[in-house]
Chain A
Amino acid sequence: MPPHLLSRPLPDAIKTEVERLFLDKVISNLGLCVSVYDIRSIEGGSIHPGEGCSTYKVSFRLLMFKPFNGEVLVGRIIGYDDKGLQVSLDFFSDISIPGHLMQFGTVRGPDGRWMLKTEDGDELYLDLDDEIRFLVSSTKYPPIPIDQKEDDPPFAPMQIVGSIKGDGLGLLAWWAADEEEGEEAAEQEQEQ
């Protein structure tokens, strides 16, 4: 607890300090901290020799964003490349949908966009800013790299891998407008 916060009421000051430490940060294997849920107990208040700040032992609960495998989420497409799509929930953007986890028949079109060719011959493009519903396939927490080369993409401490292989997954527009087509496709996939 740094000295400049000592004049505030204790629970508020401790909450501010906990927020500063954890809010919007990823804890390995536990997810992204969204908010401090509550503070359960505060003990201590001792001052260590040579420091101006008082030390407390605080027990608190954090609200984490950690989707389980099999959870369904809706996000926006923010990019695409050779390996697949990048999807963003407004507060979290490191979600990728690799090519092998897309619906059967999705290929990369001539201009780089991913596209699904249906049985009827329609070409359904996956465009930027389209809303997409996906299943969380796995979540990785890569360790912090020691050196980073200049053109490496910025380090992402938490990466979610999503899948749109399955009924009801993919662009919202595919399933909303034509429910009949969707059900037919579902029956055909089940037969396969």
Chain B
Amino acid sequence: MSALLEIEDLAVSFGRTGAVRGTSLTVERGETLCVVGESGCGKSVTALAVMNLLARGARRTARSMRFQGEDLLGLSDTGMARLRGNDMAMIFQEPMTSLNPAYTVGSQMTEVLRRHKGTPQRVAVDRAADLLARVGITAPGLRLGQFPHQLSGGLRQRVMIAMALMCEPKLLIADEPTTALDVTVQAQILRLLAQLQRDLGLGMMLITHDLGIVARVAHKVAVMYAGKVVENAATAELFASPRHPYTQGLLRCVPVPGKIKRDEPLGSIPGTVPRVGPDFEGCAFRERCSFADPTCEHEIPRHQAGGAHDFLCRLPA
């Protein structure tokens, strides 16, 4: 059976910026893939490219993009709209502004179900109330009649999650769903997502730059840098033996209790993600990498490190 989502060599450019430059990802059914990387490395753009929700002005190309074996590249706008919200759903980074201020929570939730399944309003309302309860909202009946501005950020994100689940999607793409929330609420939402993923057998693509989250929820991880996936591995494997210097740098940034001494500065990678053109050659990390040498300016081969572990570095280490 084919994978749930399979992307090969996705590239997205905005004029002279190559936001994504040849990314390949696979999400299996019932599995959580975490995509990590610093701000601006193309995580959101990858997710939006899968959903075909890129802003005007974006140019998307790929060798292949398959969802449940169906070719997404050849799909018309209406064909794509039939999948979105139905078989693949997405929740966003900005819960405060992602709901329409003019309509009630209930009307925005039931609308998805009526659109894709033609469910009668009464039944849809019941399902919406069930799901609100499921994502941990008390008094769902009351909430259904409220407008987004009457809800806190955490509640709104829960509503977004419930709304994404209305049509029982196979794939849930969550783009930094907790970044805009309070720390305590962040933990609750993540626990909720992990639990829902297990219970419903969802395939999930979770975007984050928080490796603490990855350690807790991911089955496998894709590390992105400047528009490319630089390392792919199962979670345990990645944390145990990171191969790419960038991954190693990222992992050094995570404070592990007991492992660092008091008053010792937290590790960080010096510099920032460079903006590169679509035709940039070589390793984009070389400016910040302590192992860099002139060969890094040329095409880098992908190395296998056993099992499903691969990485993109000249060092076969």
Q: Is B truly associated with A? A: no
